[in-house]
Structure 1
Amino acid sequence: MTLRGTVMPQLKRTNRNISSRKKEDDSSWSKAMKSAYAAIFDPTQATVAMVLLLLAEAFLNVFIIRAVKYTEIDWVAYMQEVEGVINGTYDYTLLKGDTGPLVYPGGFVCVYTVLYYLTDLGTNIRLAQYIYMFFYLLTIILVFNIYRKVCKLPPWALVFICAISYRVHSIYVLRLFNDPVAMIFLYSAVNCFLYDRWLAGCVLYSLGVSVKMNILLFAPGLLVLLLKRHNLSTTFLLLSVCALIQVSLGAPFLIENPVGYIMGAFNLGRQFLFKWTVNWRFLSEEIFGSRYFHVSLLAGHLTTLWIFYQARWREIFNFSNIFNSKKKEGVISANDIVRTLFVSNFIGICFSRSLHYQFYVWYFHTLHYLVWDINLPSIYKMLILGTIEMCWNTYPSTVVSSAALHCCHLVILLGLLMSGREPTPETKKE
Structure 2
Amino acid sequence: MVTIGQLYGRAIDLASNPAHSRWQSPILLLLDALLCLVIIWKVPYTEIDWEAYMQQVAQFLSGEHDYVKIAGGTGPLVYPAVHVYIYSGLYWLTDEGRDIKLAQGIFAGLYLLTLGGVMACYRRAKAPPYIFPMLILSKRLHSIYILRCFNDCFAVLFLWMAIYAYQRRSYTTGTIIYSLGLGVKMSLLLVLPALGIVFLLTNGIWTGLQQATIMAQLQILFSTPFALENVRGYYGRAFEFSRVFLFKWTVNWRFIGEEVFLSKGFSTALLLGHINVLAIFAVTRWLKTAGRPIETMITRTLSFQEPLGNVQNLVARRVTPQYVLTTILTANVIGILFARSLHYQFYAYLAWSTPFLLWRSGMHPILQYALWAAQEWAWNVYPSTDLSSQVVVGVLALTVAGVWWGTGREEYAEIRPEVRDDVK
TM exceeding 0.5: yes
Give the CA deviation at 1:286.
Answer: 2.1
Report what 1:6 is aligned to: none
Show the counterpart of 1:382.
Answer: 369
Which residue of structure 2 lines up, in the alignment, with residue 358 of structure 1? 345
Give 5+ residue unaligned stretches, structure 1.
Answer: 1-24
Q: RMSD value over aligned CA atoms?
A: 2.1
Cα distance in 2, alignment partners of residues 429 and 345 from structure 1: 26
- Amino acid aligned to 2:45: Y
Which residue matches 2:54? 79
Percent identical? 37
Shift, 1:34, TM fit: 6.4
Give the match's secondary structure for 2:87.
helix
Give the 4+ runs in structure 1 shifted more than 4 A: 29-37, 421-427
* Paired residues, number: 403
* TM-score between both structures, scaled by the size of structure 2: 0.90
2:155 is the alignment partner of 1:161: no
Check conservation: 1:300, 1:351, Cα contact below 8 A: yes
Q: TM-score, normalised by structure 1?
A: 0.89
Report the more deviating stretch, 180-189 or 281-290: 281-290
Change (3 A) 1:150 1:424: farther
| Amino acid in the other structure paired with 1:324 | Q
2:209 to 211, 214, 236: 236
Q: Aligned residue for 2:397?
A: 410
Match of 2:89 in 1: 114
Kept in 1, the 8 Å contact 2:131–2:356? The answer is no
Give the direction of change, closer, same or farther, for the CA distance of 1:96–1:36 in structure 2 (3 Å limit).
same
8 Å CA contact 1:39, 1:49 repeated in 2: no
Deviation at 1:412, TM superposition (A): 1.6
Partners of 1:129 and 1:174 within 8 A in 2? yes
From 258, 261, 266, the equivalent of 2:234 is 261
Structure 2 spans left out of the alignment, 5+ residues: 416-420
Which deviations, in whole Å up to 9, do the C-alpha atoms of 1:166-193 show, x marking residues without a partner?
1000000001001111000000000001
Match of 1:7 in 2: none
Structure 2 residue identity aligned to 1:251: T
Q: Is the 1:161–1:368 contact (alpha carbons within 8 Å) kept by the matching residues of 2?
A: yes
Q: In structure 2, what is the Cα distance between the partners aligned to 1:408 and 1:127?
A: 36
Alignment partners' CA distance in 2, 1:39 and 1:117: 46
Residue 179 of structure 2 is aligned to residue 206 of structure 1? yes
Mapping 1:280-295, distance limit 5 Å: 280-295=253-268
- Once the two structures are overlaid, the 10-residue window that deviates more, 92-101 or 402-411, is 402-411
Equivalent position SS for 1:196: coil
Deviation of 1:238 after TM superposition, in Å, equals 1.3
1:150 matched to 2:125: yes
1:133 aligns with 2:127: no
Q: Secondary structure at the match of 2:254?
A: coil
Distance 1:196 1:423 in 2: 23
Task: Return the offset for 1:231.
Answer: 2.3
Return the offset for 1:339.
0.8
Aligned to 2:68: 93
Amino acid in the other structure paired with 2:17? D
Radius of gyration: which is bigger? 1
Residue 381 of structure 1 deviates from its aligned partner by 1.2
Task: Please give the alpha-carbon distance, in whole angstroms, between the structure 2 residues aligned to 1:39 and 1:49.
Answer: 9
Note if contact 2:166-2:324 (Cα within 8 Å) is conserved in structure 1.
Answer: yes
Per-residue deviation, residues 266-293 of structure 1 (Å, max 9, x unmatched): 0011010111100011122122122221
